[in-house]
Amino acid sequence: MQERPLILVTNDDGITAPGIRMLVEVMKELGDVAVVAPNSPQSGMGHAITIGKPLRLVDSDIFDDVTAFECSGTPADCVKLAKHYALKDRQPDLVVSGINHGSNSSISVLYSGTMSAAIEAAIENIPAIGFSLCDYSHNADFSHIREYVKSIASKVLDEGLPKFLTLNVNFPKKQEEEIKGVRICRQARAKWEEEFEQRFDPMGQPYYWMAGNFVNFDKGEDNDEWAIANNYVSVVPIQFDLTAHHAMSVLGEWEF
């Protein structure tokens, strides 16, 4: 009998979030599961890593029959600690991150702790997937996406991924209509338009709350925002080479 694959599960909402619990349950059907996840919410941490202070890593028994650790660091730290310490003797065959409570589509991929864990795995050339549900509530309904999570992870286990790539998978919020299917997409051109609200603390000192409105500039139908808005699962292949190769020839003409 072939050995079952080892699947590392992490997230950015923290080890107690319902989304990671669902992901662990589904991954147990596909392989041996290990969890290294943050001990506190890490939303918006982008690709932060912990420099200049040490990390804590503590055994956790919150998942049945699963080796799990909670970590004081960021999602990217979790993957580094898993690969180079906790799972040093048996490397993961797949890294899955999520299921995030909220969208990580379009520009949010940059701010996303969920996706930074998946990208960190891609840097290590381990196939990886970040899963996000476009529903920010703690008690979000994940039932309609369970089979999709399983089939996408299963496909990546069977086929692998192109070298150094990871997948950014976003699911529409549960609706009456069933999800229409899966679309391979590009990242939509959009941004968060921030507003800052000034308030004053009891000592009379100002502080500022950041509140963002998502603004989608993209009129195409081949991007992740369109897919999600039309009740499809969006799958965007993500790379960590940020070079704008097309701009090199333009800049090459400059004299300094």
**Which of 200, 229, 199, 204 lies closest to 214, judged by CA?**
229
> Distance between CA atoms of 118 and 201, rounded to whole angstroms?
38
- C-beta of 64 vs 252, nearer to a second copy: 252
Q: Is 223 annotated as a binding residue?
A: no
Q: How near is the Cβ of 184 to a second copy at its closest, in Å?
A: 5
Q: Is 12 annotated as a binding residue?
A: yes
- C-beta of 23 vs 185, nearer to a second copy: 185
CB 135 within 8 A of CB 141: yes
Q: How near is the Cβ of 103 to a second copy at its closest, in Å?
A: 14
Exposed e or buried b per residue across 86-101, where buried means at least 16 C-beta atoms within 10 angstroms of its C-beta:
bbeeeebbbbbbbbbb
Q: How near is the Cβ of 209 to a second copy at its closest, in Å?
A: 5
Q: How near is the Cβ of 64 to a second copy at its closest, in Å?
A: 25
CB 190 within 8 A of CB 107: yes
Q: Is 141 annotated as a binding residue?
A: no
Q: How near is the Cβ of 140 to a second copy at its closest, in Å?
A: 17
- C-beta of 1 vs 109, nearer to a second copy: 109
Q: E strand or H helix at 60, and its extent?
A: strand 57-60
Q: Is 201 annotated as a binding residue?
A: no
Peptide bond connecting 99 to the previous residue in cis, omega within 30 degrees of 0: yes
Enumerate residues 6+ apart whose C-beta is below 8 A from 99.
11, 19, 20, 22, 23, 131, 132, 133, 142, 145, 149, 171
- C-beta of 52 vs 64, nearer to a second copy: 52
Q: Residues annotated in the binding site for a divalent metal cation, as ranges? A: 12-13, 43, 100
Q: Residues annotated in the binding site, as ranges? A: 12-13, 43, 100
